[in-house]
A and B are shown apart, each in its own frame.
Chain A
Amino acid sequence: MLALALLYGLDGKNECRAVVVTTSKPNLKSAAACDAVSKFYAAGGFARVLPVGMPETGKDSESTPLLDAVAAKHDHGIKQLNDTADVAAVMRNALTAQVDGNSVIVVVGPLTNAASLVELAGTREWISKKAKALVFTDHIKEDVAAAKQVLKAWPGPLVFVPSDVSRDIQYPSSSIEKDFAYASKHPIVDAYKAYKSMPYDAPTGDMAAVLYAVREKEGYFRLSAAGTLSVDDGGSVKFAESADGKDRMLLPDPAQNERILKAYTELASAKPVVRQRFRPPVADEKKPEVKQPEAEKKP
């Protein structure tokens, strides 16, 4: 959830556009939670067009207290399966609308959905053309078959973010308790409260993938030499350096930890912004009602 907050924080600063979000968990509450977070950050007026992608069936379909809490407490548009989209179709459609070589696919769960994408006929050409990289974190063991498929068939560069990159960086509970207080009802806070009893510091492995994907050149992390990634049957990722390889590993840089944590807390807790309209409003056009976060509403 904090990875999503970080992504929307960067989006709010116009450093990226979150064009589509999918969940690998075939559970409507998981899709609803993604949609709720998206809607919360879109409350500043920026419409997100593409629906949440979700596999129809598969592993790990049970709900969790975190998903129950977010889906129950926050506005979303997912009531039934046909409110969601097929994962491969929606990701492919998102790619088709991007400038060549300008998108990054960030996976902070199992590679299930990336496998669906790469297996959809005609999609590898779109990936090659549009995606700069696939950045993924260490959730390989949750779907080893999908990981093998992706690492074998992905037509572009892969960047693996191992868990040791973030071992020494924890997201402070104090930030979750204070920095999100601009909204009386915040999906990120509700998610963390539901996960386990507060206060607790949260792991940041998934946030590292987002920060690297968007601020690749800012030097928060070190990058390995080129090579080739592979996965064994037990779900362990192997990396073999090779001059003609297209893959990389993200490596920790302890000297940057303080800077990274500062970026995490500032960006993830940033208040949704009201975006400037691309076109100036027409005088006689009825303005759509812009929904503001709770704290913005006047009594």
Chain B
Amino acid sequence: MFLRGVGTAVALPFLDSMIPAMATAAESKAPVRMAFVYVPNGIDMKNWNPETEGKLGQLPRILKPMQEFKDDVLLLGNLTHNGGRALLDGAGDHGRCCGGYLSGVQPRKTFVDIKAGVSCDQIVANKIGSATRFPSLEVGLEDARQAGDCDSGYSCAYTNNLSWRSETQPLPPVLDPRALFERLFGNGERLTPEAKARRDKFRRSVLDFVMEDTKKLQTGLGPTDKRKLDEYLSSIRAIELQLQKAESDNRQIDPGMDKPYGVPADFAEHFRLMTDMMTVAWQADLTRVTTFLVTREGTSRSYREIGIPDGHHPLTHHRNDPATIEKVTQINEYHVKQFAAWVAKLKAIKEGDGSLLDNTMLVYGAGLSDGNRHTHEDLPTMIVGKGGNNFKTGRRIVYRRETPMSNLFLTMMDRMGVHTEHFGDATGRLPGLDLA
């Protein structure tokens, strides 16, 4: 739904008044959004897991900021990423656990010819992405290096990306709020349809030129260079598709916020800006699939804003020192606190009979459970939101040990209307999530 002015169109959120009086239930449904929020270096599980299963009561310390929203939360236990384990590949748990988090595969140990798997967000984006301006959105707060060795022989592409378009092509997260703003909402200028058409034509001619020029290079290249070139060409094709989409969608979105300038030094402010923009993107139905890599896996970022000058990763190897563990717990709490503030906003936005949060399934989790021992079982996993009235929230469910995390993702893909029989190391769907 748009407000059309002279040469502009402003998208509106999903309003009750948009539902015709005689609309069927199916017609009145708001879109379901799927998002993944990933935090690095594991979690202090003693302060994450509630002692009991079933209805959630008082949440453990790290989850306390979510107490107010406990009825919107599903806490899942015993989910495992077998591909994160060494499986004869030696050190490199950080690289593996993030590189295969959303695909359920074990990434190849290399920092040259990277290979993981297509992530579940991209499987969904490929199927339903044509319904929105952006098939998916990849956001992060820290490091987007794509080359080099970031963990014992594992490429930075594994630790610094969540989303993988193909086995060899990760989708780097947007880190700069200004860049995200411009990607989502343009650079703020209001173009007439004619001016926009002229700009799109110019962009297309530049792309045609680039494509033509690149193809000439293809002969006589070695396999690695050829792969890189293929990836480059497929990126250009993706931009082309985006352009086609933009040409057919004349909306100019009013984000309701000023354009940010650069990356804020303050972590909380950075987190807030990025999540605010993701929220607007969901409200305006610019995308239904989002990944948010809070900080890169294995990060040694310090948190001076909460009085922790030490690096996060070194702290997690705490050697059972209580003072060091306390710092890890505080970082875990700090992350959840920022997340809870975002959840509050999503819950406050009315959409249909419920809230934006009700129409979202937001997974908050990590690829390691115990960051000290690098364990890949009982991964911290919290689903927030009812996924379009699909999930019965307010509960903790502990599955059988070794239950693949892929089973959750397979189940979520179902809820997004994307059905596939095989995914990662899945052994089936997760039972017990649905409304009875």
The reply to whether the CB of A50 lies closer than 8 angstroms to some CB of chain B is yes
> Any chain B CB within 8 A of the CB of A26?
no
Tell me if A63 counts as interface (CB < 8 A to partner B).
no
A284–B398 Cα gap in the complex (Å)? 36
Any A CB within 8 A of the CB of B49: no
B-facing residues in A72-116 (Cβ within 8 Å): 81-86, 88-90, 92-93, 96-99
Question: Are A120's CB and B427's CB within 8 A?
Answer: yes
B3-11, B84-92, B289-297: which one contacts chain A?
B84-92
**Given A82-B77, A96-B82, A122-B422, A90 contacting B88 (CB threshold 8 A):** no
| B400 adjacent to A286 (CB under 8 Å) | no
Please name 15 further chain A to chain B contacts, defined as beta carbons within 8 Å, in addition to the given A89-B403, A97-B86, sorted by A numbering. A81-B400, A82-B398, A82-B400, A82-B401, A85-B400, A85-B401, A86-B400, A86-B402, A86-B403, A89-B404, A92-B425, A93-B82, A99-B88, A120-B427, A121-B422
In this complex, the interface size class of chain B, counting residues with CB under 8 Å from chain A, is 20 to 34
**In the complex, which of the residues A56, A90, A98, A286 contacts B402, with contact meaning CB atoms closer than 8 Å?**
A90
- Near A by CB (< 8 A), chain B positions 85-101 give 85-88
Judge whether A12 is part of the interface by a CB distance below 8 angstroms.
Answer: no
User: Is the CB of B399 closer than 8 A to any CB of chain A?
Assistant: yes
In this complex, the interface size class of chain A, counting residues with CB under 8 Å from chain B, is 20 to 34
- Residue interface mask B72-87, A partner, CB < 8 A = 1: 0000011010100111
Select one of B85, B319, B421 contacting A97, CB under 8 A: B85
Q: Are B319 and A285 in contact (CB under 8 A)?
A: yes
Chain A residues positioned under 8 Å from B427 (CB to CB) = 86, 88-89, 92, 120-121
- Asked if B86 contacts A93 (CB within 8 A), the reply is no
A288 and chain B: residue at smallest CB distance: B320
CB-based A-B contact count at 8 angstroms? 55
Q: Which residue numbers of A lie inside 8 Å of B, CB to CB?
A: 50-51, 53, 56, 81-86, 88-90, 92-93, 96-99, 120-122, 284-286
CB-CB under 8 A from A98, the residues of chain B are: 88
Least Cβ–Cβ distance between B51 and chain A, in angstroms: 13
Asked if B87 contacts A90 (CB within 8 A), the reply is no
User: Which residues in window 248-303 of B have CB below 8 A to A?
Assistant: none
Scan residues 409-436 of chain B and give those whose CB is less than 8 A from a CB of chain A: 421-422, 425, 427
**Contacts A99-B88, A121-B421, A284-B319; is A93 near B77 (CB within 8 Å)?**
no
Q: For the complex formed, measure the closest distance between the CB of B368 and the CB atoms of chain A, giving whole angstroms.
A: 15
12 A/B residue pairs, CB under 8 Å, sorted by A: A50-B402, A83-B401, A84-B401, A85-B401, A85-B403, A86-B400, A92-B427, A93-B80, A96-B87, A121-B421, A122-B425, A286-B319
Least Cβ–Cβ distance between B205 and chain A, in angstroms: 46
In the assembly, what is the distance between CA of A296 and CA of B179, in Å? 66
Residues B402 and A93 in contact, CB atoms below 8 Å apart:
yes
Contact A51 B88 (CB under 8 A): no
Shortest CB distance A113–B (Å): 14
Task: Give the complex CA separation of A92 and B106 in angstroms.
Answer: 14
